[in-house]
A and B are shown apart, each in its own frame.
Chain A
Amino acid sequence: MNHDQARYGDDERYEPLLSEKDTTSVDVDEQSPLPDDLTRDSLELPGLSEPEIARHYTRLSQMNWSVESGPYPLGSCTMKYNPSFTEDVAADPNGAVHPDRSEASLQGTLEVLHGLQDYLARIGGMDAVTLQPPAGAAGEFTGILVAKAYHESRDDDRSEVIVPASAHGTNFASAAMAGYDVVELPSGEDGRVDLDALEAAVSEDTAALMLTNPNTVGLFERDIVEIADIVHDAGGLLYYDGANLNALLGRARPGDMGFDVMHYNVHKTFATPHGGGGPGAGPVGVVDDLVEFLPSPRVCETEGGYELCEPEQTIGKVHGYQGNWLVLVKAYAYIARLGDEGLEDASAKAVLNANYLAEQIDYEIPYEPFHHEFAATAGDRDAADVAKRMLDYGVHPPTTKWPEFVPEAMLTEPTEAESRASLDDLAAAFNAAMADSIEDVESAPSKTTARRIDQAAAARNPRLSWHALGDEE
């Protein structure tokens, strides 16, 4: 596979900034009502033509990686291809209505939101869903606040949340943000939850256990029913981290396994764009006992229509209005387009693709049988170096060095979107990177726009705004 990423400009600067291409002074209106010390007489703006602007951004995109330029098997992140029809649905002007309009004039958007609440509840085996949280981690935090409100309503003072050592870092953060002490549960030898360790960890202080299933190395927690019993017998709640829901779609539901509260990563499971700091969505589902604590407002069905309703003991707002419409409507469109059979097929292919890819690569995979993702090990090589070398073969590498209990882990999740040919390319890149000389691997990448990054210097002297680009230091 011959691959060279686009380069414009010289080795140091790549594509120039717009302001370096042209700076035209624009006079501004002197009649401004603002005080003089808050206004300027002129603005320095790039005076470029539309094609120059278009080329600038196209070049930037060519110097970057995306799922539209190649496979993107970033484990745990589920970098699913975002089908473009969902963009058309989001761009429909019928959806562009201000959420402060009267409920009577919002019936169409409320119906879509209510429909998504229903879809998600059904997929997760939950009784009710809020769409308000603006990201997966925000969903986790919301879910834990709901669990906390539930315990408090029963005058049940609990101080701890149990999180497996292999969990996503956000689990620890969400529990701590909600005011809980985090109890870390070591992984069992088989990579799953160790029931004895769990028995020892639960107590009358246990507010919740946060778990993802399949877990972070793709293994199904076979003892999930026993796990649920142990947590429930101690009076705690079971929280499902929806990060790995893609493996279960249409075949198993967290609610049926005994989970009480969960979040959905719509950017993973339902192919909406990954937020990248922009608007996202992390809906939260709960069982009946927790419904009255959900954020306000929710969308409720009335006779012949929909209205906004406030749960009786709501934890309040976690975001404006009903969440980020443009993301939610894409998730709705994706689920509606695929339907029951399509979703089931998506998860089957996600698991098949991960297992096919694993068969094609010459890497040890310590934990099996995995589902939609697997943690290969780079053995005596540095996983980060191998990953950088994979960039030279025209694919995005997997997640590296995590989970930490797999040495030099390469957590790989190809998703259902890749064809067999593209999985073969990916496997070839894995194997070539491992077969290359250690010198080539340690100096990689050599064919990308930006060559090997000095990570330590970048972390020690971060330049966090474009203003800093001119600084020599």
Chain B
Amino acid sequence: MFETPEDRKYQESHEYATTDGETVTIGITDFAQDELGDVVFVELPEVGDDIAQGEEFGVVESIKAVSDLYAPISGTVTEVNEELFDRPELVNEDPYGEGWMLKVDRADDADFDALLSADEYREQTE
């Protein structure tokens, strides 16, 4: 079974977003990393770039496939997990922790309402 923590919300295209009230952390789900297989390369935007909900913000490449990443919320990138450039395997090993991808200044609270709850996402992946 895949982990689907309750402390975050999910998008159909398998990205998650979680917030501490200030910034939002974005990454891909446990299910997604398992489907992809060994991740070998991650391409992410730069600090200061704007991302928009539902729009592509980067690319994740595994030994099986190259997939676009879609932003679960809109905002301005404040931090990028540069560790992934040297250790893309962190996406596989710890997708919700060390394998995070972006931290974003959230533009709109309503963005979260459009996302799936952990239960709803779990249903989609079963």
Contact = CB atoms under 8 A, between A and B. Distances in A.
A459 B88 CA distance: 11
Contact of B88 (A401, A455, A460): A460
Nearest to A461: B40
A401 B89 CA distance: 22
A460 B88 CA distance: 8
A421 interface: no
Q: How large is the interface on A (under 10, 10 to 19, 20 to 34, 35 or more residues)?
A: under 10
A456 interface: yes
Interface in B10-69: 37-38, 40-41, 61, 63-64
Contacts of B40: 456, 459-460
A456 B63 CA distance: 6
Interface residues of B, number: 9
Nearest to B64: A401
Contacts of A456: 37-38, 40, 63, 89
A459 B89 contact: no
A459 B40 CA distance: 6
Contacts of B37: 456
Contact of A455 (B38, B41, B61, B89): B38
A455 B61 CA distance: 13
A455 B38 CA distance: 9
Contacts of A455: 38, 63
B82 to A, nearest CB: 15
Interface string B90-116: 000000000000000000000000000
Interface of A: 401, 455-456, 459-460
17 contacts: A401-B64, A455-B38, A455-B63, A456-B37, A456-B38, A456-B40, A456-B63, A456-B89, A459-B38, A459-B40, A459-B41, A459-B61, A459-B63, A460-B40, A460-B41, A460-B88, A460-B89
Given A459-B61, A459-B63, 7 more contacts: A401-B64, A456-B63, A456-B89, A459-B40, A459-B41, A460-B88, A460-B89
